[in-house]
Structure 1
Amino acid sequence: MNKFRLSVFAVIASLALFSCGGSGERKTENTATTPVETKPTEPPVTSSSAPLSQDIMLEGNDQMRFNATEFRVKAGEPVHLTLKHVGTMKKDVMGHNVVVLKMGSDLHAFDTEAIKAKSTDYIPKSLNNEIIAHTKLLSGGESDSITFTLDKPGTYEFLCSFPGHATFMKGKIIAE
Protein backbone atom coordinates (compact mmCIF):
# COMPACT_ATOMS: atom_id res chain seq x y z
CA MET A 1 0.00 0.00 0.00
CA ASN A 2 2.87 2.42 0.74
CA LYS A 3 4.30 1.86 -2.76
CA PHE A 4 0.91 2.78 -4.22
CA ARG A 5 0.73 6.03 -2.17
CA LEU A 6 4.29 6.89 -3.12
CA SER A 7 3.50 6.31 -6.81
CA VAL A 8 0.37 8.45 -6.65
CA PHE A 9 2.30 11.21 -4.87
CA ALA A 10 5.07 11.07 -7.52
CA VAL A 11 2.52 11.36 -10.34
CA ILE A 12 0.74 14.28 -8.68
CA ALA A 13 4.02 16.06 -7.94
CA SER A 14 5.16 15.58 -11.55
CA LEU A 15 1.89 16.93 -12.90
CA ALA A 16 2.07 19.93 -10.60
CA LEU A 17 5.65 20.65 -11.59
CA PHE A 18 5.00 20.50 -15.32
CA SER A 19 1.69 22.35 -15.19
CA CYS A 20 3.34 25.27 -13.36
CA GLY A 21 6.11 25.59 -15.87
CA GLY A 22 8.68 23.45 -14.08
CA SER A 23 12.25 23.51 -15.20
CA GLY A 24 11.90 21.20 -18.16
CA GLU A 25 13.42 22.24 -21.49
CA ARG A 26 11.15 23.55 -24.18
CA LYS A 27 12.14 23.30 -27.80
CA THR A 28 11.09 25.87 -30.32
CA GLU A 29 11.66 25.94 -34.03
CA ASN A 30 13.07 29.45 -34.03
CA THR A 31 16.31 29.53 -32.05
CA ALA A 32 17.15 33.16 -32.83
CA THR A 33 16.74 35.50 -29.91
CA THR A 34 14.37 38.34 -30.62
CA PRO A 35 13.36 40.95 -28.08
CA VAL A 36 9.82 40.67 -26.83
CA GLU A 37 7.94 43.94 -26.91
CA THR A 38 5.70 44.54 -23.94
CA LYS A 39 3.17 47.26 -23.42
CA PRO A 40 3.25 49.13 -20.11
CA THR A 41 0.17 48.95 -17.92
CA GLU A 42 0.57 52.57 -16.86
CA PRO A 43 1.78 55.62 -18.75
CA PRO A 44 5.55 56.06 -18.65
CA VAL A 45 6.88 58.33 -15.95
CA THR A 46 9.25 61.10 -16.95
CA SER A 47 12.68 60.44 -15.49
CA SER A 48 15.15 62.84 -13.93
CA SER A 49 16.73 63.30 -17.36
CA ALA A 50 13.66 65.20 -18.57
CA PRO A 51 14.67 67.91 -21.03
CA LEU A 52 14.17 71.57 -20.26
CA SER A 53 10.79 72.76 -21.53
CA GLN A 54 8.62 75.74 -20.73
CA ASP A 55 5.57 73.93 -22.13
CA ILE A 56 4.32 71.16 -19.84
CA MET A 57 1.63 68.75 -21.00
CA LEU A 58 0.29 66.68 -18.11
CA GLU A 59 -2.44 64.05 -18.16
CA GLY A 60 -4.45 62.66 -15.26
CA ASN A 61 -6.47 59.45 -15.57
CA ASP A 62 -9.22 57.52 -13.78
CA GLN A 63 -6.56 55.37 -12.07
CA MET A 64 -5.35 58.43 -10.09
CA ARG A 65 -2.08 58.78 -12.00
CA PHE A 66 -0.29 61.58 -13.78
CA ASN A 67 1.58 60.52 -16.90
CA ALA A 68 4.74 62.27 -15.64
CA THR A 69 6.13 63.19 -12.24
CA GLU A 70 9.09 65.42 -13.04
CA PHE A 71 9.69 68.37 -15.32
CA ARG A 72 12.65 70.68 -15.85
CA VAL A 73 12.19 74.34 -16.72
CA LYS A 74 14.33 77.45 -16.93
CA ALA A 75 13.99 79.65 -13.83
CA GLY A 76 12.72 83.16 -14.43
CA GLU A 77 10.88 82.33 -17.67
CA PRO A 78 7.12 81.77 -18.03
CA VAL A 79 5.95 78.15 -17.85
CA HIS A 80 2.78 77.09 -19.66
CA LEU A 81 1.20 73.98 -18.07
CA THR A 82 -1.79 72.19 -19.57
CA LEU A 83 -3.62 69.50 -17.63
CA LYS A 84 -5.88 67.10 -19.51
CA HIS A 85 -8.13 64.68 -17.63
CA VAL A 86 -7.99 61.70 -20.01
CA GLY A 87 -10.46 59.65 -17.95
CA THR A 88 -14.24 59.60 -18.21
CA MET A 89 -15.39 60.12 -14.61
CA LYS A 90 -17.01 63.33 -13.37
CA LYS A 91 -15.14 65.73 -11.12
CA ASP A 92 -17.27 64.98 -8.05
CA VAL A 93 -15.93 61.38 -7.99
CA MET A 94 -12.59 61.56 -9.85
CA GLY A 95 -11.76 65.22 -10.31
CA HIS A 96 -8.20 66.26 -11.11
CA ASN A 97 -6.33 69.52 -10.83
CA VAL A 98 -2.71 70.59 -10.57
CA VAL A 99 -1.54 72.80 -7.73
CA VAL A 100 2.04 74.10 -7.96
CA LEU A 101 3.41 74.88 -4.50
CA LYS A 102 6.09 77.34 -3.48
CA MET A 103 9.53 75.94 -2.79
CA GLY A 104 9.72 74.52 0.72
CA SER A 105 5.95 74.08 1.13
CA ASP A 106 4.77 71.02 3.04
CA LEU A 107 2.89 68.90 0.51
CA HIS A 108 1.37 66.65 3.19
CA ALA A 109 0.11 69.62 5.25
CA PHE A 110 -1.35 71.21 2.11
CA ASP A 111 -3.09 67.96 1.15
CA THR A 112 -4.53 67.62 4.67
CA GLU A 113 -6.09 71.09 4.45
CA ALA A 114 -7.26 70.60 0.87
CA ILE A 115 -9.49 67.70 1.91
CA LYS A 116 -11.53 70.16 3.98
CA ALA A 117 -11.97 72.66 1.13
CA LYS A 118 -14.73 71.04 -0.95
CA SER A 119 -16.55 74.36 -1.45
CA THR A 120 -13.49 75.81 -3.22
CA ASP A 121 -12.74 72.69 -5.31
CA TYR A 122 -10.15 71.52 -2.76
CA ILE A 123 -8.03 74.67 -2.90
CA PRO A 124 -7.72 75.74 0.77
CA LYS A 125 -8.00 79.51 1.09
CA SER A 126 -6.02 79.34 4.33
CA LEU A 127 -2.96 78.21 2.31
CA ASN A 128 -3.24 80.55 -0.69
CA ASN A 129 0.18 81.95 0.26
CA GLU A 130 1.69 78.48 -0.46
CA ILE A 131 0.31 78.31 -4.02
CA ILE A 132 2.13 79.55 -7.10
CA ALA A 133 -0.63 78.51 -9.53
CA HIS A 134 -3.40 75.95 -9.95
CA THR A 135 -5.74 74.67 -12.61
CA LYS A 136 -9.46 74.31 -12.10
CA LEU A 137 -10.87 70.94 -10.98
CA LEU A 138 -11.59 68.88 -14.10
CA SER A 139 -14.01 66.12 -15.08
CA GLY A 140 -13.03 63.43 -17.56
CA GLY A 141 -12.44 64.82 -21.04
CA GLU A 142 -11.74 68.38 -19.84
CA SER A 143 -8.50 70.35 -19.86
CA ASP A 144 -7.20 73.58 -18.39
CA SER A 145 -4.03 75.64 -18.80
CA ILE A 146 -2.10 77.93 -16.48
CA THR A 147 0.94 80.13 -16.95
CA PHE A 148 3.35 80.93 -14.12
CA THR A 149 7.01 81.76 -13.52
CA LEU A 150 9.36 80.05 -11.08
CA ASP A 151 11.67 82.93 -10.18
CA LYS A 152 14.37 81.01 -8.31
CA PRO A 153 16.23 77.83 -9.24
CA GLY A 154 15.12 74.90 -7.09
CA THR A 155 12.56 72.14 -6.75
CA TYR A 156 8.86 72.94 -6.63
CA GLU A 157 6.27 70.27 -5.84
CA PHE A 158 2.92 69.83 -7.57
CA LEU A 159 -0.08 67.69 -6.68
CA CYS A 160 -3.71 66.94 -7.38
CA SER A 161 -5.60 68.27 -4.35
CA PHE A 162 -8.74 66.12 -4.80
CA PRO A 163 -9.12 64.07 -1.58
CA GLY A 164 -6.77 61.10 -1.51
CA HIS A 165 -5.17 61.78 -4.89
CA ALA A 166 -1.90 63.37 -3.70
CA THR A 167 -0.71 59.98 -2.49
CA PHE A 168 -0.22 59.02 -6.15
CA MET A 169 -0.68 62.25 -8.10
CA LYS A 170 2.29 64.39 -7.22
CA GLY A 171 5.59 65.39 -8.72
CA LYS A 172 8.34 67.96 -9.04
CA ILE A 173 9.18 70.84 -11.29
CA ILE A 174 12.89 71.58 -11.21
CA ALA A 175 13.78 75.15 -12.15
CA GLU A 176 17.39 75.47 -13.36
Structure 2
Amino acid sequence: MKKTHYLAGIVLMSATAAMPAFAADECTLEINSNDAMQFDQKEMSVPASCEEVTLTLHHTGTLAKNVMGHNWVLSTTENMQPIATDGMSAGVDHDYLKADDERVLAHTDVIGGGESSSVTFSTADLKAGDDYSFFCSFPGHVSIMNGKFSITE
Protein backbone atom coordinates (compact mmCIF):
# COMPACT_ATOMS: atom_id res chain seq x y z
CA MET A 1 0.00 0.00 0.00
CA LYS A 2 2.86 2.39 0.75
CA LYS A 3 4.32 1.78 -2.69
CA THR A 4 0.98 2.79 -4.27
CA HIS A 5 0.90 6.05 -2.29
CA TYR A 6 4.50 6.75 -3.30
CA LEU A 7 3.74 6.21 -7.00
CA ALA A 8 0.55 8.28 -6.77
CA GLY A 9 2.59 11.09 -5.22
CA ILE A 10 5.13 10.98 -8.05
CA VAL A 11 2.37 11.05 -10.66
CA LEU A 12 0.69 14.00 -8.91
CA MET A 13 3.98 15.92 -8.60
CA SER A 14 4.80 15.28 -12.27
CA ALA A 15 1.38 16.48 -13.39
CA THR A 16 1.65 19.60 -11.25
CA ALA A 17 5.12 20.41 -12.60
CA ALA A 18 3.83 20.16 -16.18
CA MET A 19 0.97 22.59 -15.55
CA PRO A 20 1.50 26.24 -16.57
CA ALA A 21 1.94 28.75 -13.77
CA PHE A 22 -1.16 30.82 -13.17
CA ALA A 23 -1.36 34.19 -11.46
CA ALA A 24 -2.91 34.32 -8.01
CA ASP A 25 -6.06 35.97 -9.34
CA GLU A 26 -7.53 37.25 -12.60
CA CYS A 27 -6.38 40.84 -11.89
CA THR A 28 -2.71 39.80 -11.62
CA LEU A 29 -0.78 39.19 -14.84
CA GLU A 30 2.72 38.00 -15.67
CA ILE A 31 4.64 38.13 -18.93
CA ASN A 32 8.15 37.04 -19.90
CA SER A 33 10.65 38.67 -22.25
CA ASN A 34 13.98 37.32 -23.48
CA ASP A 35 17.26 38.07 -25.26
CA ALA A 36 15.64 37.13 -28.61
CA MET A 37 13.48 40.29 -28.40
CA GLN A 38 10.23 38.43 -27.68
CA PHE A 39 7.34 38.50 -25.26
CA ASP A 40 5.90 35.06 -24.49
CA GLN A 41 2.33 36.33 -25.04
CA LYS A 42 0.63 38.21 -27.86
CA GLU A 43 -2.68 38.79 -26.05
CA MET A 44 -3.50 39.68 -22.47
CA SER A 45 -6.84 40.47 -20.86
CA VAL A 46 -8.52 41.14 -17.55
CA PRO A 47 -12.22 41.13 -16.71
CA ALA A 48 -14.05 44.44 -16.35
CA SER A 49 -14.56 43.56 -12.68
CA CYS A 50 -10.86 44.31 -12.01
CA GLU A 51 -10.55 47.81 -10.59
CA GLU A 52 -6.77 47.48 -10.52
CA VAL A 53 -4.34 45.29 -12.41
CA THR A 54 -0.86 44.28 -11.31
CA LEU A 55 1.43 43.19 -14.12
CA THR A 56 4.88 41.70 -13.60
CA LEU A 57 7.41 41.59 -16.42
CA HIS A 58 10.24 39.03 -16.18
CA HIS A 59 13.37 39.16 -18.37
CA THR A 60 14.47 35.53 -18.76
CA GLY A 61 17.59 36.40 -20.73
CA THR A 62 21.10 37.32 -19.57
CA LEU A 63 21.92 40.54 -21.42
CA ALA A 64 22.09 43.87 -19.56
CA LYS A 65 19.31 46.44 -19.84
CA ASN A 66 21.44 48.86 -21.87
CA VAL A 67 22.04 46.10 -24.47
CA MET A 68 18.74 44.14 -24.58
CA GLY A 69 16.50 45.83 -22.04
CA HIS A 70 12.74 45.43 -22.05
CA ASN A 71 9.77 47.12 -20.48
CA TRP A 72 6.01 46.67 -20.76
CA VAL A 73 4.06 49.73 -21.86
CA LEU A 74 0.28 50.00 -22.23
CA SER A 75 -1.41 52.51 -24.54
CA THR A 76 -4.10 52.73 -27.17
CA THR A 77 -2.97 50.95 -30.31
CA GLU A 78 -2.89 54.18 -32.31
CA ASN A 79 -0.45 55.74 -29.81
CA MET A 80 1.92 52.77 -29.61
CA GLN A 81 4.37 53.76 -32.38
CA PRO A 82 4.35 57.52 -31.60
CA ILE A 83 5.12 56.80 -27.91
CA ALA A 84 8.02 54.53 -28.88
CA THR A 85 9.38 57.08 -31.37
CA ASP A 86 9.12 59.97 -28.90
CA GLY A 87 10.71 57.88 -26.14
CA MET A 88 13.88 56.93 -28.02
CA SER A 89 15.62 60.17 -27.03
CA ALA A 90 14.61 59.78 -23.36
CA GLY A 91 17.22 57.06 -22.84
CA VAL A 92 17.37 53.95 -20.72
CA ASP A 93 17.41 55.91 -17.43
CA HIS A 94 13.92 57.21 -18.31
CA ASP A 95 12.66 53.83 -19.57
CA TYR A 96 12.68 55.10 -23.15
CA LEU A 97 9.52 57.09 -22.42
CA LYS A 98 9.03 60.83 -22.77
CA ALA A 99 8.51 62.43 -19.35
CA ASP A 100 4.85 62.74 -18.32
CA ASP A 101 3.57 61.29 -21.61
CA GLU A 102 -0.20 61.20 -21.05
CA ARG A 103 -0.61 58.63 -23.83
CA VAL A 104 1.14 56.02 -21.64
CA LEU A 105 -1.53 54.26 -19.59
CA ALA A 106 0.91 52.13 -17.56
CA HIS A 107 4.51 50.93 -17.78
CA THR A 108 7.18 48.94 -16.00
CA ASP A 109 10.82 49.94 -15.67
CA VAL A 110 13.27 48.82 -18.34
CA ILE A 111 14.97 45.67 -17.02
CA GLY A 112 17.86 43.46 -18.06
CA GLY A 113 18.39 39.72 -17.97
CA GLY A 114 17.34 37.99 -14.76
CA GLU A 115 15.37 41.00 -13.51
CA SER A 116 11.66 41.65 -12.96
CA SER A 117 9.55 44.79 -12.68
CA SER A 118 5.90 45.27 -11.70
CA VAL A 119 3.32 47.96 -12.23
CA THR A 120 -0.12 48.34 -10.68
CA PHE A 121 -2.61 50.47 -12.55
CA SER A 122 -6.26 51.45 -12.37
CA THR A 123 -8.68 50.26 -15.03
CA ALA A 124 -11.15 53.09 -14.30
CA ASP A 125 -10.45 54.79 -17.64
CA LEU A 126 -10.11 51.59 -19.69
CA LYS A 127 -13.19 50.35 -21.49
CA ALA A 128 -14.17 46.93 -22.78
CA GLY A 129 -14.03 46.83 -26.57
CA ASP A 130 -11.50 49.67 -26.89
CA ASP A 131 -8.27 49.05 -28.81
CA TYR A 132 -5.29 48.76 -26.41
CA SER A 133 -1.83 47.41 -27.04
CA PHE A 134 1.22 46.59 -24.96
CA PHE A 135 4.76 46.92 -26.25
CA CYS A 136 8.43 47.36 -25.38
CA SER A 137 9.68 50.93 -25.90
CA PHE A 138 13.40 50.01 -26.08
CA PRO A 139 14.54 51.45 -29.45
CA GLY A 140 13.67 49.14 -32.34
CA HIS A 141 11.68 46.65 -30.25
CA VAL A 142 8.13 47.96 -30.75
CA SER A 143 7.72 46.37 -34.20
CA ILE A 144 8.29 42.85 -32.81
CA MET A 145 7.54 43.11 -29.10
CA ASN A 146 3.88 44.03 -28.99
CA GLY A 147 0.47 42.52 -28.40
CA LYS A 148 -3.18 43.22 -27.70
CA PHE A 149 -4.56 44.09 -24.27
CA SER A 150 -8.27 43.94 -23.58
CA ILE A 151 -10.85 44.45 -20.90
CA THR A 152 -13.46 41.70 -21.14
CA GLU A 153 -17.10 41.88 -20.06
Do both share a fold (TM > 0.5)?
yes
The letter of the residue matching 2:136 is C
Contact 1:156 1:172 in 2 (8 A): yes
1:16-165 maps to which residues of 2 (within 5 A)? 53-75=26-48, 76-101=50-75, 103=76, 105-118=78-91, 119-125=93-99, 128-151=101-124, 152-153=127-128, 154-165=130-141
- Identity, in percent, stands at 39
Q: How far apart in 1 are the matches of 2:147 and 2:77? A: 14
| Alignment deviations for residues 24-65 of structure 1 (CA, whole Å, 9 cap, x no partner) | xxxxxxxxxxxxxxxxxxxxxxxxxxxx93221100000000
Distance 1:88 1:162 in 2: 16
Alignment match, 1:9: none
Higher-Rg structure is 1
SS at match of 1:67: coil
In 2 relative to 1, CA 104–89 (structure 1 residues): closer, same or farther, beyond 3 Å?
closer
Structure with more contact order per residue of length (Cα contacts < 8 Å, sep ≥ 6): 2
Q: In the alignment, which residue of structure 1 is the partner of 2:143?
A: 167
Query: Aligned-pair RMSD on alpha carbons?
Result: 1.8
> Could you say what secondary structure the match of 1:162 adopts?
coil
Task: Give the TM-score normalised by structure 2.
Answer: 0.74
Runs of 5+ consecutive residues of structure 1 not aligned to the other structure: 1-51
So what's the TM-score if we normalise by structure 1?
A: 0.65
How much does 1:111 deviate?
Answer: 1.4
Distance 1:120 1:80 in 2: 21
Give 1:104 shift. 5.4
Runs ≥4 residues deviating over 6 A: none
Q: Which runs of 5 or more residues in structure 2 are unaligned?
A: 1-24
For residue 105 of structure 2, give the secondary structure of its aligned residue in structure 1: strand
